[in-house]
Structure 1
Amino acid sequence: MSTPTILAVDDEAFFRFLLERHLTEAGFSPLSAADGVQALSILEQHQVDLVLSDLVMPEMDGLKLIEAMRKRHPGVPIIVVTAHGSVESAVEAMRRGAYDYLEKPYNPEDLRMTIQRALDYHHMVRENEQIKGLLTERFTFQSIVTENPQMKQMLELASRVAAARKTTVALYGESGSGKEVLARAIHFAGKGLPADFVAVNCAAIPEHLMESELFGHVRGAFTGADRDREGKFSLARNGTILLDEIGDMPLSLQAKLLRVLQERVFERIGSNSPVPLNCRVIVATNKSLAELVAAGRFREDLYHRVNVFPLSIPPLCERKEDIPLLCEHILAQLRQHLGKQLPGISPKAMEAMLNYRWPGNVRELRNCLERAAILTDGGPIPLPHLGIGAASSEATPAAEAPGLVSYRLSLAPEELSLDALTTLILTQTLERCGGNKSKAAQLLKVNRKAFYRS
């Protein structure tokens, strides 16, 4: 790492000399200025990591220098070092943006430690800003590439609801279609910070732990609760909580979630103190909540509470025009990640991708391309590297009309029966729809529960 450059600003020549000596002994590279005006000129000409400034100076005093730096050099921390110290001047300097405050005469070791703390703090702030910038760039509506009219309309609606932080959003879509990516885009469009987005997979948490996971608990609330614990709703304060796979949430907890969304408060287990709900709530599911309500597996009142602003992400098989765009978008990321040129995809490989039904949606497409990119040594990605050759031969024909489905009869004559044919039709239709029961039921115009009975 390069030696940090510290600018010492003081109207007394002897004190500037003393500061420069102490800075050199502490391992820093010193510069000096006699007043604020000269300091701003040096800041324009040199890369300065931190400024040490007196308060009382001619031309431009320390407080005015702080204000000017906040406008012109906001990334450079400033520490006030002055013999004219008082509680009032310290408070005013900190209020205007100074990192810290030292009085003359100072201890050289205290000065060194204060400078190092300031440098470390601002380095961490810069790193966080870079991370936030990278995440914000990745999870924006602009980063979701599409030419599909239905997808564009959905993104337009999502951008509108992003500003309404108290409105509950319901995301519907098959597994791998990008529900969490869309949720993060809504979060960042609403000026959310990366750390304030909390995702909870309701299908992955055991039922007896879910309430504590969501709302937290206090010490002694139950056996094993040896300390207070914040829940996901607390961690998402001022941000966004995504309740993924909400259709798998137990009915007992659905009632508690309903109250939280209605009252905008929650309580940690073992506590009677209400905690305000101060976050955006987004729910996501790959199931039809309306069908779950009809089957008695999801509360109707909760359904109406979470379905305030529904957004449906069409599966990849219904927006084939997006596949070339998505391929180039993903390959651009892989070029940077793998350090390869990856000129593109061969015509045969692209034809196979356009004919493949992509049951895993965009997630499967990304994984497929990453594997192919690793295997490819140069030139366009060939069909064998994609690993979808066998699957693509069973893809649903693009021009096939709904309801006009052909079936492979795999039953011997003696096995033919109404029940056997029904099971065969249900099974092969489900295969064609990539395991999506709702889509298969819609295609056959039957109740989704038929696939559980077969």
Structure 2
Amino acid sequence: MSRGAQILVVDDKQSFRFMVKGYLEDAGYQTNCAAHGVEALAKLEQSPFDLVLSDMVMPEMDGAMLLRKVRSLHPQLPFVLFTAHGSIDSAVAAMKEGAADFLLKPLNQAELLVVVERQLEHTCLQVSYNRMLESEQEKFSFQNLLSTAPIMGRVLAAAQKVAATPRTTVAIFGESGVGKEVLARAVHIASKQDMTRFVAINCAAIPETLLESELFGHVRGAFTGADRDRQGKCSRAEGGTLFLDEIGDMPLSLQPKLLRLLEERTYGKLGSDQQVSADFRIIVATHRNLDECCQQGSFRRDLYHRLNIFPLTIPPLRERREDIPQLTEHFLNDFRQHLGKALPGISQAALNLMLDHDWPGNVRELRNLLEYASIVTNGELIQPEHLRLQLAPLDHEESDAGRVMLNFNFSAEEFSLDAVNRRVIEWALEKCDNNKSSAARLLKASRKLFY
């Protein structure tokens, strides 16, 4: 973005404008000039610029006033002031209003080019950062949570409602791999909170001796090795969301402190007597049944009730099989981009096999399975042999009595006689390694059945 960038120079002295324009164009920048603030605003309306360089003292509209106008119309546009020694205080005051930097007159060419390059690089980084945030927001928004299953639709509708109350505690329940953190991030984004203020901590992954410090932070000298103050996850979540994953695995010794955080909205760093106010939403998630944990004595009943204000239970994938085709296409689109492969799609036989699978790993298992299949395919449709799934879900068994038993799984919408016939034909072809003559003999039918 630096070389070739469009720069607007504003100064009431023609000789100074000519000099600055020459310095910048020699360095490879595209430069336009304005003699006063009104002309500068008109040029900004006509063409996009990457940087404004303006004198501080000008008739009619000075640099500070021009800065305020530019900030209101183009808040992301960097603005640098030229100032003489006598008006440094005014330049410093202008920086407090949003000026990116200032340069002293008489102007030093090398210093000018260093400041210009620095501001353009910073703008380029900011643009990239904003694009990344927008991409993350789109990735985890409710619009990107795919489901046609009524049972999942009710969960998403409830989650969207609680997103409107940014301090309500939310508890997300569900098996491993169903997408509990994905839903938590969607609630966070829909709450219009800072994307960077979603702070996650896995209560099962951190040793009990470190979890309190990781969560609340500590002060210097709190324990052996604590040679400086350290912020915890609570501090970093200020103004956003603290996500406590696997809350059912939180040690009993730490649960009273979490209860206090929830009830009083305050917490204390380890080793400190001072209480810090907590201004963030708390979302917890677990694959455990917390009521049973309370009965077993591994989880406090009062904490359970305090967490269970707004429960959301994500159904396992086997209870919403109608989502599998849509999720499959969504993941394949991701892999087309990340792997740089065409990936024509998935065969009906492979899709049927996936529809029959019980998915103990849920959506995570589905994604991992499709990633593997996407890597091993070579431009053809994904077939059953690419999926690393056992054919056992079809439950074909031949007993000593020579009996054949088939078990197919259909949603109510897809079930029909034609669908059953297709499954039987696919099973026969799979059983006979796609040999149509053998499959016809197995089914005691004409070979024409397969055409």
TM bracket (short chain): 0.7 to 0.9
Amino acid at match of 1:190: S
Query: Match of 1:389, SS?
Result: coil
CA contact (8 A) 1:7 1:33 kept: yes
Structure 1 residue aligned with 2:212 = 211
Structure 2 residue aligned with 1:299 = 300
Structure 1 residue aligned with 2:316 = 315
CA contact (8 A) 2:54 2:81 kept: yes
Displacement of 1:61? 4.4
Displacement of 1:338? 1.5
Structure 2 residue aligned with 1:447 = none
Alpha-carbon separation, structure 1, partners of 2:182 and 2:385 = 29
Alpha-carbon separation, structure 1, partners of 2:226 and 2:48 = 52
Structure 2 residue aligned with 1:62 = 63
Q: TM-score, normalised by structure 1?
A: 0.82
C-alpha root-mean-square deviation of aligned residues, in Å?
2.4
Displacement of 1:236? 1.4
Displacement of 1:335? 1.2
Structure 2 residue aligned with 1:34 = 35
Unmatched 5+ stretches in structure 2: 397-406, 412-451
Amino acid at match of 1:50: L
Displacement of 1:40? 3.7
Structure 2 residue aligned with 1:132 = 133
Query: Match of 2:274, SS?
Result: coil
Displacement of 1:60? 5.0
Structure 1 residue aligned with 2:264 = 263
CA contact (8 A) 2:81 2:103 kept: yes
Displacement of 1:56? 4.0
Alpha-carbon separation, structure 2, partners of 1:29 and 1:346 = 54
1:271-321 Cα deviation digits (max 9, x unpaired): 111111122110000011111111111100000111111001011000011
Alpha-carbon separation, structure 2, partners of 1:377 and 1:65 = 60
Alpha-carbon separation, structure 2, partners of 1:103 and 1:329 = 55
Alpha-carbon separation, structure 1, partners of 2:366 and 2:380 = 20
Structure 1 residue aligned with 2:423 = none
Pairs within 5 Å for 1:39-438: 39-44=40-45, 46-57=47-58, 61-83=62-84, 86=87, 89-90=90-91, 93-393=94-394, 398=409
Amino acid at match of 1:163: A
CA 1:185–1:4: 2 relative to 1, 3 Å: same
Displacement of 1:88? 6.2
Q: TM-score, normalised by structure 2?
A: 0.82
Unmatched 5+ stretches in structure 1: 401-454
Higher mean displacement: 120-129 or 172-181: 120-129
CA contact (8 A) 2:355 2:409 kept: no
Displacement of 1:104? 2.4
Alpha-carbon separation, structure 2, partners of 1:71 and 1:156 = 37
Higher mean displacement: 3-12 or 138-147: 3-12
CA contact (8 A) 1:264 1:276 kept: yes
Higher mean displacement: 42-51 or 316-325: 42-51
Query: Match of 2:391, SS?
Result: helix
Alpha-carbon separation, structure 2, partners of 1:85 and 1:347 = 78
Higher mean displacement: 60-69 or 231-240: 60-69
Alpha-carbon separation, structure 1, partners of 2:28 and 2:356 = 64
CA contact (8 A) 2:344 2:381 kept: yes
Amino acid at match of 1:214: L
Alpha-carbon separation, structure 2, partners of 1:85 and 1:356 = 77
Alpha-carbon separation, structure 1, partners of 2:192 and 2:124 = 22
CA contact (8 A) 1:353 1:392 kept: no
CA contact (8 A) 1:24 1:30 kept: yes
Alpha-carbon separation, structure 2, partners of 1:143 and 1:292 = 33
CA contact (8 A) 1:80 1:98 kept: yes
1:112-144 Cα deviation digits (max 9, x unpaired): 332233223222221221111010000011100
CA contact (8 A) 1:196 1:238 kept: yes
Amino acid at match of 1:320: R
Alpha-carbon separation, structure 2, partners of 1:302 and 1:309 = 14
Amino acid at match of 1:172: F
CA contact (8 A) 1:56 1:84 kept: no
CA 1:299–1:391: 2 relative to 1, 3 Å: farther
Query: Match of 1:217, SS?
Result: coil
Structure 2 residue aligned with 1:404 = none
Displacement of 1:344? 1.7
CA 1:84–1:43: 2 relative to 1, 3 Å: farther
CA contact (8 A) 1:55 1:84 kept: no
Alpha-carbon separation, structure 2, partners of 1:277 and 1:355 = 47
- Aligned length, in residue pairs: 400
- The runs of 4+ residues in structure 1 deviating greater than 6 Å are none
Alpha-carbon separation, structure 2, partners of 1:189 and 1:205 = 29
Alpha-carbon separation, structure 2, partners of 1:379 and 1:189 = 39
Query: Match of 2:102, SS?
Result: strand
Identity %: 54
Alpha-carbon separation, structure 2, partners of 1:70 and 1:259 = 43
